[in-house]
Amino acid sequence: MVKTVEEVYGVGAMRGFDPVKAAKAREQWVPADLSALGDPDKVHPYYLEKAEEVRQRFKFDADADMRWLALWAEHWDELPARQRIAIADSTGTIWGFAVPALEPRAVEVVARETCDRLRLGDYGEYPELGFGLVRIEQRVCRPVVVVRDWLFHGPSNHGKEVHRG
């Protein structure tokens, strides 16, 4: 049976994803380091189940490693404001973070640490999130999406409901 480009290379193929360029970019750019949050193999099953829902929602790759997003969500309440919005690609890799808008009509911006690590350029204090996503996609040669904590709320098969204020 012949597979489509999307089936072979994942959802990014439809947006011009080049697996060769992405592999080279992976050698040059370092994903966000979440090791301080703990062991991704010890994440509560509730968050792993919710991460699987995120994988399906965004049509991440079938073999995407969702443990890091689950770990991020599990410790979301402990994170500083600059890590409250995750920026991930279809492999489940978290490339960086964005800062939520804290007042009406304010814009969400890419976190300074993400800008520095991925050398997004000097766009003032922080680039606006939409523009930042484009720059991150150019760096990592893969489409990226914004993952918000509310995707990890609500009932699950594990009977635990999480509500955050």
Identify the pLDDT of residue 14: 46
Identify the pLDDT of residue 43: 95
Each domain of the chain, given as residue ranges in start order, spans 5-152
Per-residue buried b or exposed e for 31-48, using 16+ beta carbons within 10 Å of the residue's own CB: bbebeebeebeebbebbb
Identify the pLDDT of residue 165: 45
State the DSSP H helix or E strand holding residue 87, giving kind and residue range, or none if neither: strand 85-89
Identify the pLDDT of residue 92: 94
Model confidence, pTM: 0.81
Q: What gap in Å lies between CA 1 and CA 95, rounded to an integer?
A: 34
Nearest to 152 by CA among 67, 53, 35: 53
Identify the pLDDT of residue 148: 93
Q: What is the pLDDT along the chain (165 residues), one digit of tens a residue?
A: 655 555 555 554 445 567 788 888 888 899 999 999 999 999 999 999 999 999 999 999 889 999 999 999 999 989 988 898 999 998 999 999 999 887 887 888 999 999 999 988 765 667 889 889 999 998 998 889 999 999 988 877 765 555 554
Identify the pLDDT of residue 16: 59
Q: Is the dihedral of CA 62, 15, 143, 105 positive or negative?
A: negative
Find the Cα–Cα–Cα–Cα dihedral 92, 98, 102, 106, rounded to 10°. Answer: -120
